[in-house]
Amino acid sequence: MPGPFDGAPSDARALDRRAPEGTPRGVVLMLHGGTPHSLEPVGTRSGSLWRMQVLRDALRREVLDAGHALWLLRYARRGWNGGTSLSPVPDARWALDQVRAAYGDVPVVLVGHSMGARVASRVADDPSVRGVVALAPWFDGGDPVTALAGKDLVVGHGLRDRITSARGSQAFTERAAAVAARAEFYPLGRAGHYLLYRPTRWNRFALRHALDVLARAEHRSDTVE
């Protein structure tokens, strides 16, 4: 039986694809975290990847039952590396191309944890992307918000996070509100960074808002038609 990433080598970007019966109405594309600087491949023991695999498994049934596909991207490299061509940003853009190749012009919501949310904020300008759900994101004060123009942004951050800043996430959300279709920040109480404290709360948050972004996209499409 093939592995979750279709036998791709450990130093290559890869996708774990789960699909419902029939043609998906939309896609939830999950983006895992990483580290500021590293050219090392994302190995099978990566804690960042493992956390998103656990979240994927928690969301799988309800996302598929709603008629959406659920994809998880594994980056080629662990590091953000300045958001350059050696970062996961090109990998995420490649994954969005793969969505179009598989399903055509279906709406996509990006669900990113930590660095994955930062990646999502850079590739949200892709025409298939309707919004971003950011979980304990790693946003820098100088990060641009232009890619979120006309998109939905929903941010959840625990107030006991010692790895990334809830205050920084709120500030990023407030800046994004100037261009986004909507930008919402939710403080998640005593939660820390790693989605381990009260994981069902993180699961519900990610599921609720990912499905909401896709539902809003379908509503807007029906209104235009």
* pTM for this model (two decimals): 0.95
Q: Where are the domains of the chain?
A: 14-224
Phi, psi of 206, deg, nearest 5? -65, -45
Within 8 A by CB and 6+ apart from 132, the residues are: 109, 110, 111, 112, 117, 120, 121, 124, 148, 151, 152, 153, 154
Q: What would the pLDDT profile of 148-196 be if each residue is shown by its tens digit?
A: 999 999 999 999 999 999 999 999 999 999 999 999 999 999 999 999 9
- What is the three-class DSSP state of 162? coil
pLDDT band at 2 (very low <50, low <70, confident <90, very high): very low
Q: Which two tokens stand for residue 150?
A: 């006309």
Q: State residue 44's pLDDT score.
A: 83
The predicted-structure confidence for 54-102, as pLDDT tens digits, reads as follows 999 999 999 999 999 999 999 999 999 999 999 999 999 999 999 999 9
Question: Does residue 224 register a pLDDT over 60?
Answer: no
Q: pLDDT above 70 covers what percent of the chain? A: 93
> Which of these CATH numbers, 3.40.630.30, 3.40.720.10, 3.40.50.1820, 3.40.140.10, describes 14-224?
3.40.50.1820
